Structure 1
């Protein structure tokens, strides 16, 4: 899970090896990374939509402007978001990193549900038991 939870369920996928850009990877590894991102998004969507009827969608981002290591963001989006931000990138929230949104023990149940769902999805996809942790 991401270190800030202003949108509950925000997750970050980190590439385990050394890479700055998606194109630094051989094509088969790119495909694996993008599949992992989609499976993480599926877990976020399943869990967040079950917990909050205001869940709207999952947004996916592969950036790298501020941290030169390959990673992807999966942001749940909700209908309860303020109209000024509902259709904007999450980076437009001025209080996104406010300490009140920090990941902490309040999020343990959500973290457990996301991890369990990710394990279920990766098993269903025919991946090994540790695929969600690769």
Structure 2
């Protein structure tokens, strides 16, 4: 595995997004950055990264901020589903996961799933793929994904700017 230099954007993906150095950012949302995944063995894989540095888990956020983050996850998942459904007739569904077992920052995986996946994996979490599959250079994000990236960005921005996906959490302090 290649070493990560301290100034490498992957060392602190959230700070890099805030500073405009994270090349995977598709769009800035209310509480998250929508990003395309570093690997694309399931085309359309994306993540929502919290915009709040130092937040390790969803429960670290005050409830209104949790709801904003989850609304952004919903927006991104809807955009991924729309793009993947248009691009591949064998699109199956979207899986949404907040795990936090490896990376100590709040993020949510949006995994498109396809009928063409191996039968032993298609009905199970993506973590069942062989670890070598994840590191295969053929699946690394790169210029071959520019059209997919453009489609995802357009869908995310359309939703972000629409009334349908506008979200104002209730003022939980006043019981509204």
- The count of aligned residue pairs is 127
Cα distance between partner residues in 1 of 2:159 and 2:64: 20
More helix by share: 1
Larger Rg: 2
Give the aligned partner of residue 132 of structure 1. none
Structure 2 unpaired stretches of 5+: 1-35, 168-176
TM-score normalised by structure 2 residue count: 0.70
After TM superposition, list the pairs within 5 Å mapping 1:80-99 onto structure 2.
80-94=116-130, 95-99=133-137
Q: Which has the higher contact order (CA 8 A, sep 6+)?
A: 1
Structure 1 unpaired stretches of 5+: 128-134
Equivalent of residue 21 in structure 1, options 57, 63, 70 = 57
After TM superposition, list the pairs within 5 Å mapping 1:29-68 onto structure 2.
29-68=65-104
Cα distance between partner residues in 2 of 1:86 and 1:12: 20
Q: Does residue 12 of the first structure (1) align with residue 12 of the second (2)?
A: no
Cα distance between partner residues in 1 of 2:160 and 2:91: 22
**CA shift at 1:126, angstroms?**
3.6
Q: Residue 120 of structure 2 aligns to a residue in which SS?
A: helix
**What root-mean-square deviation, in Å, do the aligned CA atoms of Structure 1 and Structure 2 show?**
1.0
Cα distance between partner residues in 2 of 1:86 and 1:102: 21
